Amino acid sequence: MKTVFSPVQLTHDPKMEISDGKLKPAVEIPSRAEMVRSEILARKIGPLWTPQDFGRAPLERVHTGEYLDFLESFWSRWTGAGRQGEAFPFVWPVRQLRAAPTPSHIDGLLGRFSFDAGTPLGEHTWAAATASANSALTAARFLREGDRSAFALCRPPGHHAAADYFGGYCFLNNAAIAAQWLRDQGTARVAILDVDYHHGNGTQAIFYERADVMFLSIHADPKEEYPYFLGHADETGEKAGKGFTHNWPLPPGTDWTRYSEALEEACRWLTVYSPDVLIVSLGLDTYENDPISQFRFVPEDFLRLGARLARLGKPTLFVMEGGYAVDALGSNCVNVLEGFLGG
């Protein structure tokens, strides 16, 4: 299995984040990707590839031009306004407030194009996020060319980012960009299975009214856990997409036994839908020692997950999402890939 990764993805290097109601050290840090990369090489999963630059066109198929302009120009506007260091939004156009007309002030722009205060933007965020998206696109291209599987070592992650907002450490929705690109290349049906501990709110929002990209997510109940405002079981799609989104919100403390019941239900949907390509939004924060999560996966459970996904028998693109127990992240991630290859 080929892995795609660019060192440019390491240049987004946040120092702090707002979580638990205060400013704390950031957890979505470059060493996450370095741990996974070194484990890929140590366990000989396959060759490491540098992504091809797909340009802006595939990003615009998922994100709005206004949002991409904001991300691309952010740092010059931020420093041009006399600001220094990483940026946090603090005001949002919720409910009776208006998202349009778009503010011109940098703080208004930050709120317009985000949904949380836990995701700092820095000087290299745009470069790293586009490199991460290019890794997903390059891995998708390998599937188009006949590979049965590929791994996009995406970082920063993507599944919380929607068409016009960032959050949850995510800026560009790598899995959605890859899914849309595959559709545009002639792949008839794509399914995205999101196994990150957190609900993939951005991916769901992007494909919610569509039947050509199924979205399935198994995650911590949003009543108890981030992102709080999406990911309930009654969200099943709208319009043409009715019945093509399914969510399995699970309680804190969920272990493999409970999780695998939901996974079997998701696999049944995948068998019925029979996608031409399966994209796995691969979060490793279901791990029992993850510092921000409450599920109880042990390392062997990641092998089981990979083996179960292999039994679906579909061309499969793994796109990395979350996972913050940095020391164990590489081995847990590669366990999924190894389980898949041996399954």
Asked if 28 touches Zn ion (CB under 5 A), the answer is no
Among 283, 306, 315, 330, binds Zn ion (CB under 5 A): 283
Residue nearest to Zn ion (CB): 322
Q: Kindly state the smallest distance separating residue 93's Cβ from Zn ion, in Å.
A: 25
Among 39, 86, 235, 285, binds Zn ion (CB under 5 A): 285
Asked if 306 touches Zn ion (CB under 5 A), the answer is no
145 CB neighbour count, 10 Å cutoff: 8
Nearest CA to 266 out of 317, 321, 336, 219 is that of 219
The question of whether 160 is a catalytic residue gets the answer: yes
Q: Kindly state the smallest distance separating residue 26's Cβ from Zn ion, in Å.
A: 14
- The rounded radius of gyration (Å) of the Cα atoms in the chain is 18
Site residues for Zn ion, 246-275, by CB under 5 A, read none
Of 49 and 287, nearer to Zn ion (C-beta) is: 287
Could you give the CA distance from residue 98 to residue 46 in angstroms, rounded to a whole number?
Answer: 49
Q: Kindly state the smallest distance separating residue 175's Cβ from Zn ion, in Å.
A: 13
Q: Kindly state the smallest distance separating residue 131's Cβ from Zn ion, in Å.
A: 20
Q: Which stretch binds Zn ion (CB under 5 A): 37-45, 106-114, 227-235, 321-329?
A: 321-329
Q: Per-residue contact track with Zn ion, 184 to 213, x per CB under 5 A?
A: ------------xxx---------------
Of 78 and 287, nearer to Zn ion (C-beta) is: 287
Catalytic residue selected from 159, 160, 199, 219: 160
Cα–chain-centroid distance for residue 275? Answer: 19
Asked if 225 touches Zn ion (CB under 5 A), the answer is no
Q: Which stretch binds Zn ion (CB under 5 A): 37-45, 60-68, 127-135, 284-292?
A: 284-292
The tokens describing 250, both together, are 């699970």
Q: Kindly state the smallest distance separating residue 170's Cβ from Zn ion, in Å.
A: 9
Of 17 and 196, nearer to Zn ion (C-beta) is: 196
Of 156 and 322, nearer to Zn ion (C-beta) is: 322
183: number of CA atoms within 13 Å, CB side? Answer: 20
Percent of the chain as helix, strand, coil, to the nearest 5: 40, 15, 45
Backbone phi and psi for residue 64, each to the nearest 5 degrees, phi listed first: -75, 150
Contact between residue 35 and residue 329 where contact means Cβ atoms under 8 Å apart:
yes
Amino acid code (one letter) for 153 = L
Q: What angle do CA 206, 269, 236 make, to 5 degrees?
A: 40
Amino acid code (one letter) for 215 = F
The tokens describing 284, both together, are 């490793």
Q: What angle do CA 91, 93, 98 make, to 5 degrees?
A: 140
Of 121 and 218, nearer to Zn ion (C-beta) is: 218
Residue that is written with structure tokens 């019941």 in the block? 261
Q: Which residues bind Zn ion (CB under 5 A)?
A: 196-198, 283, 285, 322
Residues annotated as part of the active site: 160
